[in-house]
């Protein structure tokens, strides 16, 4: 009903415009003839000629109205109808127009780009909710299962300890997941207020390696670290998350006994941190998505993470006015490179 009322209103506006244009055309011709006669350029009006001129004016006015209706009003009606569809939640609609007016074409292109962006945001939002639900469900199910097993009074002390460790591991996963989601949310809404301080980046990297010692000693991994003594200004707490995640990923995707190389190089206007592993590597398809929230390219290692680590890393690096890059190939390992301003 509303759509019909709107179309009727637009047709009314169009008819009014046509009437005004035709009336203006008549008035212009009549006025011109009157002035020509008044100043002696025409001594006697030929009513047949006058009628012909008025008909010509009407035709000209009609053509102008058609041009305006086809070139301006019709595209606006089409755009308005498409906007109503978007308001109803239809983000797949596009508007096409054969108009040669550059302004109309630009408006339509911008509208289509806006709808594509809205569709992308809606898809990401739905995927985010689905992924969060899944990531919470997995450890919660594990905790519930092991808690039920602990009710068995016939369990040996070793079994009881194993189940308790499993519960602790999954509660830690939940805690990390919640913390990462909250941190990402604050950064994306720009509600995170962190003070910048000057600190030794090489010392921070060493601390990150030491903090992950249980993981790399279990797999017999060694480190080759060459770190220039560098002072940087930034958020020390957030940047610590970057190195923890990147080193953790390098350990996770390295095989037993392999080596991880860490380099910190000071350049004229920036510092470059690279973390290289010799693990399974990544295909170009995986590399294109690794910084997306909840994306996990290697599903065989899904239980070892929640898919938020690299999304968090990228956001922190961007907030630090830096850039993160990755070089990788299947079977050749991966190198993550973080470039930060001095």
Q: Residue 307 belongs to a domain with what CATH number? A: 3.30.565.10
The structure's pTM equals: 0.52
Query: Is 97 among the domain residues?
Result: no
Residue 200, phi then psi, degrees to nearest 5: -85, 110
In a domain, 117, yes or no: no
Mean pLDDT of the chain: 77
SS3 156: coil
Please tell me the predicted confidence (pLDDT) of residue 61.
Answer: 61
Say yes or no to pLDDT of 316 above 60. Answer: yes
Q: What angle do CA 180, 126, 144 make, to 5 degrees?
A: 55
CA distance 260 to 258: 7
Number of domains in the chain: 3
CATH number of the domain enclosing 150: 1.10.287.130
Full residue range of the structural domain in which residue 86 is found = 2-90
Share of the chain above pLDDT 70, in %: 63
Do 262 and 149 fall within a single domain?
A: no
272's CB contacts (< 8 A; 6+ apart) are 263, 264, 265, 337, 338, 339, 340
Residue 102 maps to a domain: no
Does any domain span residue 113? no
Give the count of alpha carbons within 13 A of 269, CB side only: 2
End residue of a domain, out of 188, 210, 232: 188
Q: Torsion-angle region of residue 261: left (phi > 0), alpha (psi -120 to 50) or beta?
A: beta
Shared-domain flag, residues 52 and 153: no
Whether residue 204 sits in one domain with residue 166: no
CA distance 253 to 255: 7
List, for residues 127-148, the tens digit of each pLDDT value: 556 666 666 777 788 888 888 8
Which position has the token pair 């992950």?
212
Q: For residues 225 and 316, state if they share a domain.
A: yes
Structure tokens at 161: 């300890």
68-77, 170-179, 229-238: the lowest-pLDDT one: 68-77
pLDDT digits (tens, 9 = 90+) for 261-285: 999 999 988 999 999 999 888 888 8
Asked, for residue 104, whether it belongs to a domain, the answer is no
Q: Is the pLDDT of residue 302 over 50?
A: no
Predicted confidence (pLDDT) per residue in 19-61, tens digit:
666 667 666 766 666 666 666 655 555 556 566 666 766 676 6
Rg (CA), the chain: 35
> Is position 111 within any domain?
no
List 222's β-bridge partners, or say none. Answer: 259
- Does 112 map to a domain? no
Could you tell me if residue 84 is inside a domain?
Answer: yes
CA quadruple 280, 284, 286, 292: dihedral sign: positive
pLDDT for residue 303: 43
Distance separating alpha carbons of residues 273 and 232, to the nearest angstrom: 12
pLDDT in tens, 73-112: 667 777 777 778 877 778 778 887 666 667 667 777 888 8
> Which of 145, 166, 188 represents a domain boundary (last residue)?
188
State the DSSP code for 43.
S
185 or 332, which is more confident? 332
Contact 184, 319 (CB under 8 A): no
What is the rounded average pLDDT of the residues 239-263? 91
Q: What is the pLDDT of residue 23?
A: 67
Total residue count of the chain as it appears in this document: 342
Query: If you ran DSSP here, which 8-state letter would residue 255 be given?
Result: P
Q: What is the DSSP letter of 268?
A: S
For the residues of 24-36, what is the DSSP string, one character each?
HHHHHHHHHHHHH
């Amino acid at each position: 009903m509303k759509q019909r009322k709107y179309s009727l209103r637009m047709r009314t506006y169009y008819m009014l415009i046509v009437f005004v244009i035709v009336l203006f055309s008549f008035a212009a011709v009549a006025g011109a003839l009157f002035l020509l006669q008044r100043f002696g350029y025409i001594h006697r009006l030929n009513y047949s000629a006058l009628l012909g001129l008025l008909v010509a004016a009407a035709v000209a006015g009609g053509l102008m109205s058609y041009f305006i209706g086809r070139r301006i009003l019709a595209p606006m009606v089409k755009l308005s109808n498409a906007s109503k569809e978007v308001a109803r939640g239809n983000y797949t609609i596009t508007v096409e127009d054969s108009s040669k007016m550059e302004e109309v074409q630009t408006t339509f292109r911008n509208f289509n780009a806006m709808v594509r962006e809205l569709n992308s945001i809606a898809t990401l939002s739905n995927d985010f909710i689905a992924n969060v639900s899944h990531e919470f469900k997995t450890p919660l199910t594990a905790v519930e299962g092991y808690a039920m097993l602990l009710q068995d009074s016939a369990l040996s002390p070793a079994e009881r300890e194993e189940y308790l460790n499993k519960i602790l591991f999954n509660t830690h996963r939940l805690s990390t997941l919640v913390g990462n989601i909250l941190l990402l949310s604050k950064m994306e809404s720009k509600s995170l207020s962190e003070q910048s301080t000057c600190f030794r980046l090489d010392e921070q990297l060493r601390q990150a390696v030491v903090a992950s010692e249980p993981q790399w000693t279990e797999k017999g991994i060694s480190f080759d670290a060459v770190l220039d003594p560098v002072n940087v200004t930034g958020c020390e707490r957030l940047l610590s998350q970057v190195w923890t995640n990147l080193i953790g990923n390098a350990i996770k995707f390295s095989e037993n006994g392999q080596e991880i190389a860490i380099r910190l190089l000071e350049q004229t206007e920036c510092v470059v941190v690279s973390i290289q592993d010799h693990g399974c590597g990544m295909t170009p398809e995986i590399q294109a998505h690794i910084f997306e929230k909840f994306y996990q390219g290697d599903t065989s290692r899904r239980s070892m993470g929640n898919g938020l680590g690299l999304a968090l890393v990228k956001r922190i690096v961007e907030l630090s006015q830096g850039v993160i890059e990755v070089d990788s190939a299947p079977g050749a390992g991966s190198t993550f490179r973080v470039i930060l301003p001095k």
